[in-house]
Amino acid sequence: MSFFARFAQNRGALVGLIILLMIIAMAILAPLLFPESPWRMVQRPFLPPLSQEGFPLGTDTMGRNVAAGLMHGAWVSLLIGLVSTSVALLIGVPLGAIAGYYGGLIDDILMRFTEFFQTIPNFALAIVLVAIMQPSVTSIVLAIALVSWPPVARLVRAEFMSLRNREYVEAARLVGQTNTTIILRQILPNTLSPIIVLASLMVATAILLESSLSFLGLGDPNVMSWGYMIGAARTVIRQAWWLSFFPGVAILLTVLALNLVGEGLDDALNPKLSRER
Amino acid sequence: MLYARLIIMRLFKAVIVLFLIVILNFLLIQLAPGDPAAILAGEAGAADQEFLNQLRERFGLDQPMYVQLWRYVSGIAMLDFGYSYRLGVPVFDLIMARLPATLLLTGTAFLISLVLGIIAGSMAAARVKKPSGSIIMALALVFYATPLFWVALMSVLVFSVYLDWLPAYGFYTVGAGYTGFALILDVAKHLILPATTLALFFMAIYTRMTRTSMLDAAQQDYVKTARAKGLKPSIIQRRHVLRNALLPIITLAGLQAGQMVGGAILTETVFAWPGIGRLMFEALQQRDYNLLLGIFFFSAALVIVFNIITDLVYRLADPRIKGAS
């Protein structure tokens, strides 16, 4: 069975993929449909949804277009989710690979280090990091990456430990390949499927983290994000429910879609394991 | 005897982790914008140069880095976390005043999420191939994907604004002058919304964990024996599967519960719940770095304490596990 056929067997994953594609389309179309900055005040404030043409989701406390904010926010969420996950992979994969491949003392030290990062409450550390580095897309990406790499390191380590004594690795060693070549060319490609599955779930978590940070006022002040929109509308929830309702639905759908896609990838990439459940 | 040694070992490990966090905090203070003298002293930028120099001398900031680090670490060892610069009050006192509310909130949320999660998870495990089981898991996935702060806001909208059933803000009704049982009831009413919204996310995690754990336990030989004996499936589920799945669930749940402190920052912010999470939000808004780092240290300490308790409960409950590791 082809990869996509296996993926599509999981109906939830297909739904997730469709939602995800729609959100990606939102992000791409944002500058075309709403070329103006989503920060610009374009109408009178507190305009309810569907009350005026061009403002399907109404306006916020400052008279900014909620629909425009929602679409521009999609871009920021996806960007931060993807980049911070990539950075987390860049930290976690090498650490896990080295720990799992060499074992012994190096493994001990690296794993203690990983455990330390796992003990610290993720969200509190992310808050402190962003607050101290000052809120910006870069600091948010770094903070999210710094709190989310430990599971990657653990996964990659476990994979490397189970693969390092396989015959093909022994053969590579016998031929005289260096450790670096064996790690990168022989073992790493065989650990890719679980890493891909984990990464798709991490993008989801990263988007949740980013929205939580910007909800607390730690978003990049120059980019419109869903979390910021909800945070700014928090105090006017009684007067204007739509200001916090729609961005929240957007976050929920994105995170849900990524989780569904992750499960589908898991089914497609590890067919033997997932069929049992 | 064994437990005494175990506790000492765990405490020793905890001290090392806390020590590393203190060092991390120290490094973060160096990175924070502004003069560390001003931050440590609890003074805003208004202080003049001469005063800052005095402060530098008093706090040893004119000393080499390692001396500074030593002073900082030994200060925290004596519970001296410095001053909050906006409030002018020792950070330690501020945190202690807010800690009970957070413990009440996270403790309640933990119990709610654990009980409901185990019930939902075992229901889903008993209905593996049926639509009702899939619906439970789909709901769990939705709760897992919903931003905590948004659920909190939406529950305010529904239960306080539209239905007017429950209070939306605070810890108790200010000015009502309740005492005794009436006060407990009043606090409980205020607790319902924050605790349930915080619990939802963790309930989703525990539901998934319970289901997996129970499906694993159902593969065991003693379950096959019980089935072969002709026991009713419901009795097998309850007595043989759930009982054996429960311990690993509680252990994993305990490890996850540390993250509840993080979730509490969001729920407390929405509900104006006077705990350390709300204090962290206030510290953030004021850019009160010293207070922020103090709370960070305490939230990590809470996680460690929680992990040790879970570990001990697990070992006491399951005699098969001996002191090793």
Q: In chain A, pLDDT over 70 holds for what percent of residues?
A: 97
C-beta atoms of B150 and A230 within 8 A: yes
Backbone φ and ψ of B258, nearest 5°:
-55, -35
As a whole number of angstroms, the distance between CA B84 and CA B63 comes to: 23
As a whole number of angstroms, the distance between CA A160 and CA A268 comes to: 22
Q: Measured between beta carbons, which residues in chain A are less than 8 angstroms from residue B147?
A: 208, 211-212, 215, 227, 230, 248, 251-252, 255
Query: Mean pLDDT over all residues of chain A?
Result: 89
Q: Pick from B15, B16, B141, B150 the residue to mutate for testing the A interface (most A CBs within 10 Å).
A: B150
Query: Mean pLDDT over all residues of chain B?
Result: 83
Q: Pick from A19, A122, A127, A249 the residue to mutate for testing the B interface (most B CBs within 10 Å).
A: A127
Residue B280 vs residues B29, B93, B147, B292: alpha-carbon distances, Å: 16, 14, 19, 6
Q: Measured between beta carbons, which residues in chain B are less than 8 angstroms from residue A119?
A: 17, 258, 300, 303-304, 307
As a whole number of angstroms, the distance between CA B176 and CA A168 comes to: 75
Is 70 exceeded by the pLDDT of residue B44?
A: no
Whole-structure pTM value:
0.89
The pair of structure tokens assigned to B82 is 């410095």
B104 contacts: CB under 8 Å, gap ≥ 6: B191, B275
What is the pLDDT averaged over residues B133-155?
92
The pair of structure tokens assigned to B264 is 């509490």
Q: For residue B59, which of B37, B26, B42 has the smallest C-alpha distance?
A: B37
For the structural domain made of B95-317, what CATH number should be given? 1.10.3720.10
As a whole number of angstroms, the distance between CA B26 and CA A126 comes to: 16
A172-203 pLDDT tens trace: 989 989 998 999 989 999 999 999 999 999 99
Is 80 exceeded by the pLDDT of residue A113?
A: yes
Q: How far is B245 from chain A (nearest CA, A)?
A: 16
Q: For residue A122, which of B265, B264, B277, B259 has the smallest C-alpha distance?
A: B259
Q: Which strand (E) or helix (H) includes residue A216?
A: none
C-beta atoms of B265 and A216 within 8 A: yes
Go through the domains of chain A in sequence order and give each one's CATH number: 3-37+50-276 (1.10.3720.10)
A208-245 pLDDT tens trace: 999 999 999 999 988 899 999 999 888 888 888 888 99
Q: Does A119 touch chain B (CB under 8 A)?
A: yes
Q: At what angle do helices A122-133 and A192-215 cross, to 10 degrees?
A: 60
Q: Does A189 touch chain B (CB under 8 A)?
A: no
Q: How far is B112 from chain A (nearest CA, A)?
A: 21
Contact A80, A144 (CB under 8 A): yes
The pair of structure tokens assigned to A74 is 């999609």
Contact A50, A67 (CB under 8 A): no
pLDDT at position B238 is: 80
pLDDT at position B9 is: 85
pLDDT at position B68 is: 78
Q: Which of B28, B149, B285 sits opposite A128 (nearest CB)?
A: B28
Q: Does A121 touch chain B (CB under 8 A)?
A: yes
Q: Which amino acid is at A156?
A: V
As a whole number of angstroms, the distance between CA B98 and CA A250 comes to: 34
- Lowest mean pLDDT: which of B41-45, B108-112, B171-175, B291-295? B41-45
Task: Determine the 3-state secondary structure of A62 from DSSP.
Answer: coil
Q: Which of A121, A127, A248 sits opposite B150 (nearest CB)?
A: A248
Q: Which strand (E) or helix (H) includes residue A226?
A: helix A226-233
Q: Which of A122, A134, A248 sits opposite B259 (nearest CB)?
A: A122
Identify the residue with better confidence: B206 or B324: B206
Q: Measured between beta carbons, which residues in chain B are less than 8 angstroms from residue A225?
A: none
Place of tokens 């200010």: B174
Number of Cβ atoms within 10 Å of the Cβ of A78: 20
Degrees, nearest 5: CA angle B118-B123-B125: 95
Identify the residue with better confidence: A79 or A1: A79
Q: How far is A237 from chain B (nearest CA, A)?
A: 7
Q: What is the DSSP letter of A48?
A: P
- For chain B, the structural domain boundaries read 1-78, 95-317
Q: Which of A128, A248, A255 sits opposite B296 (nearest CB)?
A: A128
Q: Measured between beta carbons, which residues in chain A are less than 8 angstroms from residue B20?
A: 116
Q: For residue B90, which of B52, B32, B41 has the smallest C-alpha distance?
A: B41
Q: Which strand (E) or helix (H) includes residue B322?
A: none
HSE-up (13 A, CA, CB side) for residue A277 = 20
Is 70 exceeded by the pLDDT of residue B171?
A: yes
B220-248 pLDDT tens trace: 888 888 888 888 888 888 878 888 888 77
What is the pLDDT averaged over residues A17-46?
86
Burial classification of residue B110, based on how many CB atoms lie within 10 Å of its CB (0-12 exposed, 13-18 middle, 19 or more buried): buried
Q: Which of A119, A244, A277 sits opposite B150 (nearest CB)?
A: A244
What is the pLDDT averaged over residues B270-281?
92
Q: Does A127 touch chain B (CB under 8 A)?
A: yes
